[in-house]
Amino acid sequence: MPSGDDDIGIGGRVRAARRRLGWSREALAFHAGISWSAISQLEGGRRRNLRPGTLAALAGALGVTVDYLVSGSAFASSMLEHSALVYESEAEFVETAAPFLAEALERSEAALVVAGAGRIELLREALGANQRHVEFAERATWGDGPVEVLSGFRAFVTSRVEAGTPWVRILAEPTEEGRRAFEHRSLARYESLLNLAFSATPLTALCAYDARTLDETAMTQLNLTHPHTVVRAGLVRSTDFVDPIQFVSAREPAPDEGR
């Protein structure tokens, strides 16, 4: 079992991360903006209660998460809230989407809508004066590929969090081509990848789908890739949700298989 210089604890994890980078205590003090004596006390076990700002500075300098420093967790706790909004009419879409965005204003959260021009107009009308607190982007100009879309979301989240926003909300709908892509699992893979890419991100993502355009296969894929689904009755937990790593790595059948 670990002992002595390798004792498990926040001081030991800071020391191990520092040594992995080949840094002295002086180097860590410089990069983290913390005094050498504070780091010496921490690594020596004489200082245990750290301020959030100190933890964030150490984690940022060492390239680890605060979760890892505090608890030694190998994986950061998931912060992402990822749900599918399945609606059957424009009125039902607005009934759920507008309050979702209005709540962002109440909580001082950044909000982005990526949707078709018609859906954007409906939301602007429903939000009234509050629409100025929401950023809107037409879906057709956002890019169809998963890399483009996820990169765009990441850039938005990063910029808003760095500007001081405590949390971010994104409401997005796929293009017509994207909805049809469910037949080939490509859109479903993108939805599953979102769970991985933003797991440790302060983000609530609501993916809007018109039930009138989805077949049974598409609905199944939604349940496999979204932890929750929002319907008129409220938030429903998906019992069919599949671990993203398993879903993304699953082999797709060849075009002539199953015929």
Residue 137, token pair as written in the block? 């982007």
Q: Flag whether pLDDT at 6 surpasses 50.
A: no
Which residue, chain included where needed, has tokens 């440790």? 200
Mean pLDDT across 215-222: 85
Cross-sheet strand order for the sheet of 203-210: 135-138, 110-115, 168-172, 203-210, 81-87, 228-231, 234-237
Provide the residue ranges of all domains of the chain, joining segments of one domain with +.
Answer: 4-71, 81-249
Q: Which of 78, 108, 91 is nearest to 205 (CA)?
A: 78
What's the confidence (pLDDT) of residue 216?
85
Backbone angles phi, psi at 19, to 5 degrees: -65, -35
pLDDT tens digits, 39-89: 999 998 888 778 888 998 998 899 888 878 887 766 666 789 999 999 999
pLDDT tens digits, 102-140: 999 999 999 999 999 999 999 999 999 999 999 999 987
The CATH superfamily assigned to 81-249 is: P-loop containing nucleotide triphosphate hydrolases (3.40.50.300)
What's the confidence (pLDDT) of residue 158?
94
Mean pLDDT across 190-209: 90
Helix (H) or strand (E) holding 67: helix 66-71
Q: Flag whether pLDDT at 1 surpasses 70.
A: no
Tell me: domain 4-71, CATH 1.10.260.40, correct?
A: yes
* C-beta of residue 215 within 8 angstroms of C-beta of residue 185: no
